[in-house]
Structure 1
Amino acid sequence: MALLGEAAMILAFDIAPNAISEHDHWHSHEHLHERMSIPGFLRGSRWSSKDSSPRYFVMYEVSDLETLSASPYLDRLNNPSVWTAKMMKYYHGMNRGFCRLVFSGGYGLGSYCLLLRFSPDPEHEVALRDWLARKALASLHKKTGLVSAHQFEAALTPEMTKEQRIRGKDSGVDWVLLVTGYDKDAVGELAAAELSVTELERHGCINLVSCIYQMEHSLSRTEIEIPDSTD
């Protein structure tokens, strides 16, 4: 199985250039560990692109959508650490969506990915969903250089929390396609052909943002020490 849960939080954002080094250190050594200690969080991964904006794509795989509206997660968002509160001030253009997984093919995550964020044209939504599942994504993971393909759809509106108030109001995420692979050229060819902006718009995608990212860090819940709540 490629993904670890039935839902995911998808984030795409930029960081002030003078804070990039500290952001990456904080995210790897505090934030990912903190998030993975929350019940229902299964794996977090950070991806980046030095040539595109937004620079960062972060995905938190969770057991179900309810994880993202439950008190353990909301309590953490409303009580950020001192370091987290500091880093929130450097975030720009945050796009954040609580999404259900509607299609998944392949196994594992490759080190490169094509991330496509868009909305469906209401007049073509049913046909677009069918085309993605039956044709566009169905066998992508079997192509040389690729390992997995997924489709997400926003299903829950994030609450306003203290973290968001510090960095400013987030923009939403609607539909997302994520294709991962071990070969950067294969991912690039996909972005230029089968899942190009032109091809996706032809099938009813609007407000499309396409970007290729490389994974920087991945951490799963099984890899961290979770404090004993009885202590």
Structure 2
Amino acid sequence: MSGILAIWNDCTEGREAAYEHWYQHEHLPERLGIPGFRVGRRYEAIDARLRFLTAYEVDHLDVLGSKEYRQRLENPTEQTTAIVKNGFVNMSRTVCARSQIRGDIRGSIVVTATLREGDPTSWFDSLESSRYFSDGATHSEIWLSSENSDARTKEELLRGRDAKIVACLYLEYLRKEPAIQSAQELRRIHPNADIGVYQLMCSLTRSE
């Protein structure tokens, strides 16, 4: 089963330039150099609680527990250490399995609806019969937490304990207006979910 490493975070005020330079020139290329990492996408908030969303799509879930990936997490570079210690704020990071993937056209505007606790089964059952998978969305996925270890890596120890989600409904749109409308409706119907609207900043695909 393919997987997603789903990350939401803010950036320390005054560190934005260093943060962006590190992401574009070191971190994205480094992560996409790990075997099994397929594509990395970075988004910035249009209307969301946290400013940034990063989603790393991997060939299968085992990639996110692989020796090569763990080695990177346990041996951060000098720049990574600096940014992780003073750059990442309000970090949420969860290894997820991808399911119910629909739509071949990828949009640049994203709505994420996340649950932080509880059993998401009944919530997703209600969404399954709703319009959110088809009305205006070009692509949709469900991400289900597949965290299987409480062990903290050196990177996490540097930045402090990460928050986790149990599930996420992920929707892509071509334009901002229908995405915002969908987010507003989701907030009304599902007040316990954390709903955000994001715009694609950049993406990097693994070189074959």
**Normalised by the size of structure 2, how large is the TM-score?**
0.91
- Structure 2: gaps of 5 or more residues: none
Superposed CA deviations along residues 27-76 of structure 1, whole A, max 9, x for unmatched, are 11110100001011000011012664311100000111111111100000
1:191 aligns with 2:183: yes
1:9–1:59 Cα contact (<8 Å) kept: yes
- Structure 1: gaps of 5 or more residues: 224-231
2:47–2:198 Cα contact (<8 Å) kept: no
Number of aligned pairs? 206
User: Which residue of 58, 64, 71 corresponds with 1:62?
Assistant: 58
2:28–2:40 Cα contact (<8 Å) kept: yes
The aligned residue for residue 130 of structure 1 is 125
The aligned residue for residue 155 of structure 2 is 163
2:9–2:91 Cα contact (<8 Å) kept: yes
1:109–1:147 Cα contact (<8 Å) kept: yes
User: Which residue of 65, 75, 93 corresponds with 1:96?
Assistant: 93
1:78 aligns with 2:74: yes
The aligned residue for residue 209 of structure 1 is 194
Q: Which protein shows a greater Rg?
A: 1
**Normalised by the size of structure 1, how large is the TM-score?**
0.82
The aligned residue for residue 14 of structure 2 is 18
SS at structure 2 position matched to 1:61: strand
* Change in CA separation of 1:164 and 1:120 when aligned onto 2, cut-off 3 Å: closer
2:45–2:52 Cα contact (<8 Å) kept: yes
Deviation at 1:165, TM superposition (A): 0.8
> Structure 1: how far apart are the matches of 2:68 and 2:82?
21
2:48–2:195 Cα contact (<8 Å) kept: no
Percent identity at matched positions?
A: 26
> Structure 2: how far apart are the matches of 1:222 and 1:95?
28
* Change in CA separation of 1:147 and 1:164 when aligned onto 2, cut-off 3 Å: same
SS at structure 1 position matched to 2:15: helix
User: Which residue of 135, 139, 143 corresponds with 1:148?
Assistant: 139
> Structure 2: how far apart are the matches of 1:136 and 1:103?
14
